[in-house]
Chain A
Amino acid sequence: MTRMDEILDRVAAIQPLPDTVMKLMNVINDPKSTIEDIIEVIRYDQAVTTQMLRICNSAYFAVSREIDSLNDAIRMLGTMKILQLVMAVHSNSLLANRQSGYGLEPGILWKHSVGVAITATWFAEKIHYANANLAFTAGLLHDVGKTILNEYVGKDFAEIVRRVNEDNLSFCEAEHAVLGFSHEEIGAKVAEKWQVPEHITRCIRHHHDPRPLTPPDPLVDAVYLANCVCLLLGIGLGADGLSYRADHEIMERYGLRESDLEIAGTQMMLELKRVMQMYAAPGQPQEPMLVTG
């Protein structure tokens, strides 16, 4: 049994993606879905409903009357925000690692993932990808492999970092050298196990190197570029820092310029600050953690 199989076996025992997330991903994946389909998925989810009403009534929206029904909340927030919210509510418990064995401070991976989700949506719209909602979800889940590794191979982390520093390897190359696989691969395997839609699993598998894909997959490219922007701007960097390979081909594919990266970055930063404020628990302004209902 390989090391990866061993870990995958143990992962089977940990909590899979919540039911709402699974259902919602399938709804998002289907271009024929309507708002009603989305309501149908989330109305039975108490955590999401509670959180949504809390946010609608928060200072962020500054509404004059109390929003007390899901229908009102959905009308007010719009489909896109709802999807983001549901994904954020549930992914937080998934991504908010408790240990920091893999060089990740608690909450950091969630912040990075939300940043990538926001930026991937921006890029998907920029390159006229048909289903930008999907980019948000893919962005949110792209690093799920790191959560797994954080739990199971924390002790190898120092050696991986040493290989990056001394052998001039990228972080993924060093993971391969030390573990025999990267966080992308194990993330994709776990996503398959959880029956995450294939579009998204592909983003998890190739978010550091979309080149092998022929034909190119614009969704993967959007997540790749979003991840580059967030790494550059230091959104939720771990001890892996910026040790990832950059590839100008992906930019050229869509005629994107460096100024596009910069604009994406400024948009993301403002949006991310709003999201972090929205989720900040009272008395904890620096470490945004989500209160799941």
Chain B
Amino acid sequence: MSRPAEIVFVCASGGLAAFGVLLVNLAREEVRAMPALAAFLVLAVAFGLFLVAIRAWAPDATPLLIPAASILAAVGFVTIYRLDENLASLHGWWLLLSATMSALWLYAVSEKGLGHRGGGWWPLLALAAGLVAIPSLGADGGTIWVAWRSAPAVVLNPGEIVKFVMVALFAILLAERQAFFSAGGRYTAPLRPARVTTVWQSILLLGLVLVGVAVRDSATAMIVVGMFCVMAYMATNRSAYLVGGFGAGVLWLVAGPWLSEGLQTRITVWTDPWTQPEGPGNRLAEGLFGLAAGSLSGTGFGLGDPDLIPESTTSLVFAAVGEEMGLAGTVVVLAAYALMVVTGFGIALRAREVFHKLLAGGLSLLLGGQAVMSVAGVVGLLPGTAMPIPFLSYGLSLTMAGFVILAVLARVSHEERV
């Protein structure tokens, strides 16, 4: 795909959003040009800006990343608009803000290139620790986001940024460790090197699980632990890490219900959604009802009842897409994610530096893993993992994380070809 094709795709996604918004209004028997125009502008400007930044500061990056992301963002924007117009206008601002931030980041790294030795990455550790700590200070147990009292829709979900930061951190850690293995003798501690790394990792793993339980955002904790295990496997080719990660997952399923009442409810609902009490608590059944209502071709934008689905703009947005766009829409969404993920892993495979490989591979896995776990949670393949999906769901932190992941992947892709 060439650069002009990329521009065409960005315009097409703007057109898709505008068309969808128009259909939503038509379903309400209203013809309104302004919201459709605004939707086109939001998508075209956000991704146009991102495109310009990539042409300026990462010109050799693969052009396959932006089309998929822009189509997903358009589908997500229309779905959010259909459910809540005010939320959609906020989400439009988040898209623009996130695109701007990732463009600025691309500019910032354009001078020195993407490296882990500059020291600039290490403040991320402090940032991650701080973000994890914020929600645990909240009075409302189980709340995993921070909300402003005056504007309840403007929430900061630190978990989304923590995941991104943690992946970057693991990439640094594992790259350092490889360097340590090759250099040898640089760390002259009395303990044998293998022991050092094993202990270090075990403590890290345990700490993450405990932090996750403490903030009651067990899904984020699970993803972080899983990310570490798979990235360690990528770095070392030792399948013991995968076994360990799988064991941690099983442990989470078995022990989780004793530690968290919310998780217990989710697992009970998961095992049998049809006899559990109806209503917003039974997210699995309500989400499946939404998917079933869409059937093959969907009810059409504005013609279904996705407002009956709980958390339909965030965790269960996929069910809302399935209701109004049908199986056709859900398969397109999955295909767009698959394209982004495969492109990301392709960047990792071609990258020359270990750090770049791990960073691109980890971020692709984060993107794909989050999409897969979200959808698996909606259709009931995994218990209680229905979570927001980047680009599709409403949210500032989520959209920001999505755009930054794209920017990092684009930069790695650019450097691998220079």
Asked if A and B are interacting partners, one says: no
